[in-house]
Structure 1
Amino acid sequence: MGEGVQKAGRRPRADSLRNREKLLLAARDVFSAGGPEASLEAVARRAGVGIGTLYRHFPTREALFQAVYLRDVDQLVALAQQAADGRDPVEALRQWLHACVGMVATKKGMLTALAPSVQGSDPLFADTSRRLRAAVGSLMERAVAAGRIRSDLTPEDLMRAMIGMCYTREQPGWQTTVVLLLDVFVDGLRLPPDPAA
């Protein structure tokens, strides 16, 4: 019994952590590409590990889905926090929305390939949606405070527009089209320069 407690408290080995990271990156690539090849076996092959290694790290399809999705959300939240480094606030918002397209592509691919195993993820989506709205809200506040974009749009409005664009473009190459549409959308948010300034 004491040995089991000790094992449970051990830190994962470095190679185990590397394999987990390789699987998360591979899953993101495989599922964002979508199509019939988006399978757990394809994820393991792309990561260069056996399917048994995948299941040791992610014992269920839902566990893999949640790990990949949470990793993407964490990265988007961190990207929004890094925007305060002096970059142009409108370009920071644009870059963040471009990154969101990749997250949506991965999520779409996983929902298609792994359903119905992810049907119990509603609480996960509620929490991550709140975090993403807060992240884009901080970017928008910064751009509004600088007098660069209009102030009558809410974070919910912006996320709804971005997701709507992503889910209406299903043909191959849809991500490129959505990025272009988002550029037009962000340009439409810009305020004209103040002549008095």
Structure 2
Amino acid sequence: MGHEKDASPCARTPRSTAPPLRSDAQRNRERILEVALVELTRAADTPLSAIAKKAGVGQGTFYRNFPSREALVMEIYRYEMQQVADSAAQLLSTREPDRALREWMDGLARFAMAKAGLADAIRQATSGPGSPAKPGHSPVTEAAELLLRSCEEAGSIRPGVTADDLVLAIGGLWQLDPAEDWQPRATRLLDLVMDGLRAGAPGR
């Protein structure tokens, strides 16, 4: 009987109605960001109304989330960067540290290509007076440190490598052209970097 009472509408309303609403709003927001990334990569001046239409949301919903083009572009950048950062802990929970690091680097390559594709849109969004500043890389740097320290503790990479070292080593990613077949070249580059990290590892 206790369970039936807990399941009554009055008892559950405060906790059962709010989360789905937030979830729907979050899905709308993420859908807008996914569509906007594709469309703004194709053309930096894509109308916001076209992005809203392809995302399947109304103008009101769109502008509640992103009141301006600048806000949309900066949020795409932040969102993609945060996705990469958040994936580090997820990968470490299911893979050996060195495999987690290598797969995370693939995600970083995809972020680099998204950033390159958005370059014109980012320049437009940050060039005018009072425009927002481009976000830094701190979440990605923190994720890299987490992965590197996990690998070091496991003895699967050479000791002493920092996140700054890693970013410099894979800087070639930012030279690839997202309009070309960049994935095979990125894979070769990251495999070379990973081989270098593993060289001299105490656990090998």
Partner of 2:51: 43
Match of 1:138 in 2: 146
Aligned pairs for 1:47-196 (under 5 A) are: 47-49=55-57, 53-85=61-93, 87-119=95-127, 120-122=131-133, 124-126=134-136, 129-162=137-170, 164-170=171-177, 172-191=180-199
| Unpaired segments ≥5 residues, structure 1 | 1-9
Q: Supply the distance in 2 between the matched residues of 1:24 and 1:112 (Cα, whole angstroms).
A: 17
Residue in structure 2 matched with residue 5 of structure 1 by the alignment: none
Q: Which structure ranks higher in relative contact order (CA pairs < 8 Å, sequence separation ≥ 6)?
A: 1
| Contact kept? 2:113, 2:176, Cα under 8 Å | no
8 Å contact kept, 1:83–1:139:
no
Aligned partner letter, 2:119: L
Give the Å deviation of 1:150: 1.2
* Cα deviation 1:19-59 (Å, max 9, x = unaligned): 3221012123334xx34477245533432346665334211
Distance 1:15 1:144 in 2: 41
Larger of the two Rg values belongs to structure: 2
2-side partners of 1:16 and 1:65: how far apart? Answer: 19
* C-alpha distance 37-51 of structure 1, shift in aligned 2 (>3 A): farther
Tell me how far apart the structure 1 counterparts of residues 181 and 143 of structure 2 sit (CA, whole Å): 27
Deviation at 1:135, TM superposition (A): 1.0
Quick one: structure 1 residues 178 and 61, their matched pair in 2 at CA, closer, same or farther if it must change by over 3 Å? same
The equivalent position to 2:31 in structure 1, one of 22, 26, 31, is 22
Give the Cα separation in 2 of the matches to 1:27 and 1:167. Answer: 21
Q: Deviations over 1:79-124 (max 9, x none)?
A: 11223325111110111111112222222222313532234443x5
> Could you tell me the TM-score, scaled by structure 2's length?
0.72
Aligned-pair CA distance for 1:166 = 2.1
| Unpaired segments ≥5 residues, structure 2 | 1-17
Q: Which range moved further: 22-31 or 85-94?
A: 22-31
Query: Is this contact kept in 2: 1:105–1:175, CA < 8 A?
Result: no
Distance 1:35 1:182 in 2: 26
Greater shift in the superposed pair: 140-149 or 178-187: 178-187
Residue type matched to 1:71 in 2?
Answer: Y
* Shift of residue 161, structure 1, vs aligned partner: 2.7
**Distance between the aligned counterparts of 1:50 and 1:137, measured in 2?**
41
Residue 18 of structure 1, CA deviation: 3.6
Indicate how the Cα distance of structure 1 residues 146 and 132 shifts in structure 2: closer, same or farther if over 3 A, else same: same
The residue number in structure 1 matching 2:10 is none
State the 1:156 CA deviation.
Answer: 0.7
In 2, the alpha carbon distance for the partners of 1:71 and 1:160 equals: 23
The alignment-based identity, stated in percent, is: 32
The total of aligned residue pairs comes to: 181
